[in-house]
Amino acid sequence: MQIVIGAALTALFLGAALLSFVWTPYDVAVLDIAHKLAPPGADYWLGSDHFGRDTLSMLMVGARTSIAVAVLAVGIGMALGVPLGLAAAARRGSWLDEVIMRGNDLIFAFPSLVIAILITAVFGPSATNAILAIGIFNVPVFARVARGGALSLWTLDFVLAARVAGKGAARISAEHILPNIANLLIVQGTIQFSLGILAEAGLSYVGLGAQPPTPSWGRMLADAQTMIYTAPRLAILPGVAIILMVLGLNLMGDGLRDLLDPRVRRARG
Amino acid sequence: MARYLLTRLLSLGLSLVAASLVIFAVIEVIPGDPASYMLGLNATPEAVAALRDELGLDGSLLSRYLGWVAGMVQGDFGQSYTYRVPVAELIGDRVVVSLPLALLALALSTAIAFPVGIVAAARRGRAADYAVMGATQLGIAVPNFWFAMLLVLVFAVRLHWFSAGGFPGWEAGVLAGLKALTLPAVALALPQASILARVMRSSLIETLGQDYIRTARAKGLSRRLATRRHALRNAMIPVLTIIGLQFSFLLAGAIIIENVFFLPGLGRLIFQAITQRDLVVVESVVMLLVFAVIVVNFAVDLAYAAVDPRLRRGGRR
Amino acid sequence: MIRLEDLSLTIGKAEILRRVSLDIAPGRVTGLVGESGSGKSMTALSIMRLLPRESRVSGRIILDDSNILEKSERQMCALRGNRIGMIFQEPMTALNPVKTIGDQVMETLLIHTGHSPAEAREIAREKLARVGLPEDRFPLTRYPHELSGGQRQRVCIAMAIALSPELLIADEPTTALDVTTQAQILDLLRELVREEGMSLLLITHDLAVVAGMADHVAVMQKGEIVEQGATEPLFRAMRHPYTKALFEASSHAPARRPTATGEAILTVSKAVRDYALPRTRLIGPAPVFRAVRSVSFTLNKGESLGLVGESGCGKSTLARAILGLEPLQAGEIRAFGQPMGPGFPTRLKAGIQVVFQDPYGSFNPRWKVARLVAEPFHLMGTRPDDWRARVARALEDVGIGGDAMERYIHEFSGGQRQRIAIARALILKPEIIVLDEAVSALDVSVRAQVLDLLADLQAEYGLAYLFISHDLSVVRAITDRVLVMKAGEIVEEGATEAVFSAPAHPYTQALIEAAPAIPAEWKVHEHGQAPVV
């Protein structure tokens, strides 16, 4: 049940984001001061902002930004973290394991916001830097999940059997370990995806993410804050969008976990 | 125990050194010449040279790093380029806002999450559990700064119970200060409490399935007593990990929330410093934040040892 | 003392117990035997009313003329630990890791009696001393992780008997323990029954254990008691076919045709294997644990060589070294004349294959059987063109049909999986198969069938087995020669029958002495009959 709701919400936002490439109700790049702060209605389904931009269009394009940042950040985390975690597990207790895990601890000491601050201080704010900041923070997360899952698999006899068959650590990691931790990684991927949406919103809210004129949910909130007395709607809608998107991803993650967890599955069968 | 303490202390020291190296490298090495970076494109060569001199950039990398670290150890973080005051002074003024905020939020989040998580685990699969799981699922999805705006809208704009922002300073009295931090702390704490409550619940449920709980029940302990005496302490181990991680999120969150409430904390300071390209302030505040996270994780390690006797004999997680 | 009348139990939709009736007499030992899944543990948990939530029980459990099943939870709490104590199979996890053993024993006293903590501590001290943990060597402030498995089981017993209950339920109390420790724990239980006048409900899968302990035996199969009665007459008569089958399977010796030759194909000389232990000091070298201490032996072509020893004696480490998975610190292993090590020719590695203990962990759950069995072809560089035919033949050799090739491993039972593991070991036509506790995880009836299969395969292909096991009876049934290992050293070596009938080393004598056995005069002599399971 929850996986259906989750997938539906995720699909809704994904669809809106994709649709925004070809069509939005209004062009978000065009300012129309004459129609500023229009209430929701037939013309502007969700109203317009202080520059007369259509809120629905802004939300659609904002979804694009959020999803792009979060997906790329998860991609970075997986692409770097999973091989590191697998390598650490394959050489458990060695200096390599030690270096990888200490490096992870070090990154954990820099919350993604602090990484973003560091990057921004040097390179200036941009969506790319937000992706980097969130992505770097994802690396140790995936490394840990991969290492933890791999370590328990390395103790199993089928790995010993593969070693008896003359297979090396890299081949065993690819053939035996990775397919068996794939479900863990998928579930963690959806969780990090939703955290990425939240982090992107936070970063662009404080001006460290996507820069104007690119619409993003966090920026919309920052802009709306000054008008919270006059037009609270502008602050509420992007927040609701964020909540629904994150909720959808989390529900999907939980659903996937139940679906993919062999323990749960066995209990059902 | 002494050995465990020693290894944790050693790891604390190494983490601090590594973190300071990273920050130093990013701030002082990567942008090329920090002085011309700070002054922007239109700076005269004389101004750049003067700033280079002021920042001590003419020494070797190693001597600059050592000088920076030695200064920090003595409480000297250098001089802010834009404010023209010692950075330590700036930080001192701001940290008394940010740190209480993060700690208040942590206390609040823990105070809410523990009972909620325990009740949900004890009533697993019943209405109370579903209610908690639903509410926390929503709580996790709420961005804290948006929740903060909502709180302002309801409690400041509509109900006028609190002011919409600003900080009177601790000179105005502890109560006034706490009142100004209440809404920000609630905004920070509730999403974190949702996460913590779920961790508490799942950890407790897992612990309740352990063999020693069955042993305790076979001794004649009621379910409630077995939970209290045998499950809770064991269930705390993963919860402690999350509390440690949460502190770093709360600290980062506090920086953002300060913007919503116009609180004069480290967050405001660092964002101003970024726009003004005041690298000295940026590197000092970042180092301070990382220092706080590392120290809290050290405290979590000590808490592990207090909870779990297996660790006291020098074992590792 | 307690009487079960028509006890039936369903959990969810599964029928677990069917009309179980059993009389547990005061001051006596009642044995409840059966294979895994027979419902024997659930019977015990029904008496304690500690069943899983979705359980539905009917029938009656009578204690003092009242039905336990009708008692309130509060009344049950007053009963558990006070009048009925219970100990479980896995002592390593049965104790709370963050509480001292003294506190855990005291707790039983504190919740049921008005003793002050000081009095409770005094009684806990006495009880711990009674179960063989005197305070001068085992202070009450010890934590469970500082004790061995056998010691922890003693703590569990102290906890369960702290209030001298009328009934002690012991659910597989020694299954997780070594044979010598098992003998000590069983002795302790026997003494406690005699001295305290308590009843003992002893649940086990091991017929020999009940034979040595119980006054009354009940045999369970698929949730029903199929036969019960006084122990000796029951064993002598074996009225029910299931009892008989269980008995024959447990002492089953496969018919073997000698294939051993004098040609040595594996020689181990003065092998030493060290492990680095966790550091205890920050500086200086890490301490070293010597798992294998200068072990030497040879394995001949076509021979079945047993390696027995208790857990932690180094036998599995030795096996991994023979397979070339771990380096030696000194000494040498030669297979087919070549020294084992990084330079060992890959094609010769095909000559040594292995079967592991765990039928569940031995296979990648995401691969189909054909690919699993074909994995050793990796040693040949490429899979031969006829690999599928060869997999099918290997599966046929172990009695698994060819349609298994396209199925996943979770579709097979434990016994079938172990057959598939043997097929995987056979696929390259090796000369040596290392069997590392290969039948230890199997129920006795399945174990007997797998042993028969191993004997047949050896006769057919002239295989040499290195048969590693902690189970003396299995080693006796399947090997020509045996090595006894203790603390990393081989303490005795010789022809299997000679070693078992006249053990020379005190350790071997202790092992054989400790192994529970059904008295020889109880056995009905009916040879040449295969088990009917």
Let me know if C52 is exposed, middle or buried by CB neighbors in 10 A (0-12, 13-18, 19+). exposed
Taking CB atoms and an 8 Å cutoff, what residues of chain C touch B235? none
% of residues, chain B, pLDDT over 70: 97
Residue B288 included in any domain: yes
Single out the residue of C178, C150, C132 nearest to residue C87, CA to CA: C150
Looking at the domain assignment, is residue B185 inside a domain?
yes
pLDDT tens-place string over residues C417-441: 999 999 999 999 999 999 999 998 8
SS3 of residue C106 by DSSP: helix
Distances B183 to A117, B71, B146, B165, B167 between C-alpha atoms, Å: 25, 37, 12, 9, 12
pLDDT for B159? 87
Exposed/middle/buried for residue B109 (C-beta within 10 Å: 0-12, 13-18, 19+): buried
Between C533 and B274, name the one with better pLDDT.
Answer: B274
Q: Report if residue B239 sits inside a domain.
A: yes
Q: Looking at A206-269, list the stretches that DSSP marks H as alpha helix, in order from N- to C-terminal side.
A: 217-225, 232-260, 262-268
Residues in chain C closer than 8 A to A266 (CB atoms): 410
Q: What span, in angstroms and rounded, lies between the C-alpha atoms of C8 and C427?
A: 47
pLDDT in the model for residue C528:
41
Report pTM. Answer: 0.87
Is the CB of residue C110 less than 8 Å from the CB of residue C124? Answer: no
Put simply, the answer to whether B221 touches C90 (Cβ < 8 Å) is no
Nearest residue to A188 via CA among A139, A130, A244:
A139
- Give the residue from C47, C96, C104, C111 with the most B CB atoms within 10 Å of its CB, the best one to mutate: C96
Which conformational region is residue C398 in: left (phi greater than 0), alpha (psi within -120 to 50 degrees), or beta? alpha
Distance from the C347 Cα atom to the nearest Cα atom in chain A, whole angstroms = 10
CATH number of the domain encompassing residue B109: 1.10.3720.10
The answer to whether residue B268 is domain-embedded is yes
C445 pLDDT exceeds 80? Answer: yes
Question: What span, in angstroms and rounded, lies between the C-alpha atoms of C335 and B217?
Answer: 54
Two structure tokens written together for C51: 């069943």
Cβ contacts of B126-134, under 8 Å, gap ≥ 24: B129/B201, B132/B197, B132/B201, B133/B198, B133/B201
Residue B313 CB neighbours (<10 A): 15
Instruction: Select from B7, B146, B290, B317 the residue whose CB has the most chain A CBs within 10 Å, as the one to mutate to test that interface.
Output: B146
Q: Could you tell me if residue B45 is inside a domain?
A: no
Q: Give per-residue pLDDT as tens, C188-226.
A: 999 999 998 899 999 999 999 999 999 999 999 999 999
**Lowest-confidence region among B121-125, B243-247, C105-109, C470-474:** B243-247
Cα–Cα dist B67/C163, whole Å:
69
Encode chain A (269 residues) as per-residue pLDDT tens digits: 788 999 999 999 999 999 988 888 888 877 878 888 888 887 877 888 877 788 898 899 899 999 999 999 999 999 999 999 999 999 988 889 988 988 888 888 887 788 888 888 788 888 888 899 899 989 999 999 999 999 999 989 999 999 999 999 999 999 999 999 998 899 899 989 999 999 999 989 988 888 888 888 988 988 888 887 788 888 899 999 999 999 999 999 888 888 876 554 443 33
Task: Kindly report which listed range (B151-155, C276-280, C403-407) carries the lowest average pLDDT score.
Answer: C276-280
pLDDT tens figures, C47-73: 999 998 889 999 999 998 899 999 999
Query: CA–CA separation, C457 vs C469, rounded Å?
Result: 19
Kindly report the CA angle at B151 between A63 and B177, in degrees rounded to 5? 130
Contact A106, B25 (CB under 8 A): no
**Cβ contact C346–A166 (<8 Å):** yes
Say if strands C2-11 and C55-63 run parallel, antiparallel, or are unpaired: antiparallel
Bridge-based pairing state of the strands C481-486 and C14-24: unpaired
pLDDT at C356 over 60: yes
pLDDT at B42 over 60: yes
> Hey, what amino acid is at C475?
V
Q: What is the mean pLDDT of residues C150-177?
A: 94
Distance of alpha carbon C452 from alpha carbon A232, whole angstroms: 80
Label residue C381 left, alpha or beta by phi (over 0 means left) and psi (-120 to 50 means alpha).
Answer: left
- Chain A residues in contact with C421 (beta carbon < 8 A): 161
In degrees, rounded to 5, the angle at the alpha carbon of residue A166 between the alpha carbons of residues A165 and A167 is 100
Distance from CA of B196 to the nearest CA of C (A): 22
What local confidence, expressed as pLDDT, does residue A117 receive? Answer: 82
Measured between CB atoms, does C346 come within 8 Å of chain A? Answer: yes
Cα–Cα distance measured from residue A269 to residue B37, given in angstroms and rounded to the nearest whole number: 64
Residue A21 Rama label (left phi>0; alpha psi -120 to 50; beta): alpha
List the domain range (segments joined by +) for residue B171.
94-316
pLDDT at A5: 92
Which residue from B243, B139, B120, B241 is spatially nearest to A250, judged by alpha carbons? B139
Average confidence (pLDDT) over B78-85: 83
Residue C312 has pLDDT above 90, yes or no: no
- Comparing CA positions, the residue from C531, C524, C499 lying closest to residue C233 is C524
CA A165 – CA C433 distance, rounded (Å): 13
**Subunits close to A (at least 3 CB pairs below 8 A):** B, C
Residues of chain A contacting residue B102, judged by C-beta atoms under 8 Å apart: none
Using the CB atoms, write b or e for B201-212: b if 16+ within 10 Å. bbbbbebbebbb
Spell out the alpha helix ranges (H) of B123-171: 127-141, 144-151
Whether the CB of A157 is below 8 Å from some CB of chain C: the reply is yes
C-alpha closest to that of B196 among B106, B261, B264:
B106
* Averaged pLDDT for residues C148-158: 94
- Domain-located, residue B129: yes
Residue B116 lies in a domain: yes
Contact partners for chain C, using 3 or more CB pairs closer than 8 A, are: A, B
Helices (H), C113-256: 117-130, 149-161, 179-196, 207-213, 231-237, 241-250
- Which structure tokens are listed for C380? 């040949």
pLDDT grade, residue C281 (50/70/90)? low
What is the share, in percent, of chain C residues with pLDDT greater than 70? Answer: 97
Tokens encoding B246: 């949460």
Interface of C with B (CB under 8 A): 48, 50, 73-74, 77-82, 85-86, 88, 90, 93-99, 107-108, 111-112, 143, 145, 156, 159-160, 278-282
Q: Is the pLDDT of residue C324 over 70?
A: yes
Contact C519, C210 (CB under 8 A): no
pLDDT at C280: 64
C360 secondary structure, DSSP code: T
Distance from C-alpha of C530 to C-alpha of C533, rounded to nearest angstrom: 9
Interface of C with A in 281-300 (CB under 8 A): none
Report yes or no: A269 at the C interface, CB cutoff 8 Å.
no
Residue type, B302: L
Q: Is the pLDDT of residue C398 over 50?
A: yes
Residue B173 lies in a domain: yes
Non-local CB neighbours of C73 within 8 Å, separated by 6+ positions: B222, C49
Q: What is the pLDDT of residues B88-135, one digit of tens each?
A: 999 998 999 998 999 999 999 999 999 999 999 999 889 999 999 999
Per-residue pLDDT at B311 exceeds 80: no
Determine whether the interchain pair A114/B149 forms a contact, defined as Cβ–Cβ distance below 8 Å.
no
The predicted pLDDT at position C285 comes to 73
Which residue from B218, B229, B309 is facing C81, i.e. has the nearest CB?
B218
Q: What is the pLDDT of residue A268?
A: 35
Dihedral of alpha carbons A250, A255, A257, A263, sign:
positive
How many independent structural domains does chain B possess?
Answer: 1
Longest dimension (CA), chain A: 76
Q: Is the pLDDT of residue C527 over 50?
A: no
Taking an 8 Å cut-off on Cβ atoms, the answer to whether C358 and A156 are in contact is yes
**Contact (CB<8Å) C323/A166:** no
The predicted structure's pLDDT at residue C346 = 86
Quote the CA–CA distance of C367 and C370 in Å, as a whole number. Answer: 8
Q: Which two tokens stand for residue C359?
A: 């039928």
ipTM of the complex, rounded to two decimals: 0.85
The residues, any chain, with a CB within 8 Å of residue B53's CB and separated by 6 or more, are none
Q: What is the DSSP letter of C377?
A: G
Q: Which residues of B touch A250 (CB under 8 A)?
A: 137, 140-141
Which of A206, A249, A254 to mutate: most B Cβ within 10 Å?
Answer: A206
Q: Are B153 and B204 in contact (CB under 8 A)?
A: no
Q: What is the token pair recorded at A251?
A: 């529900």
Cα distance between residue C174 and residue C203, in whole Å = 10
Contact status of A92 with chain C (Cβ, < 8 Å) = no
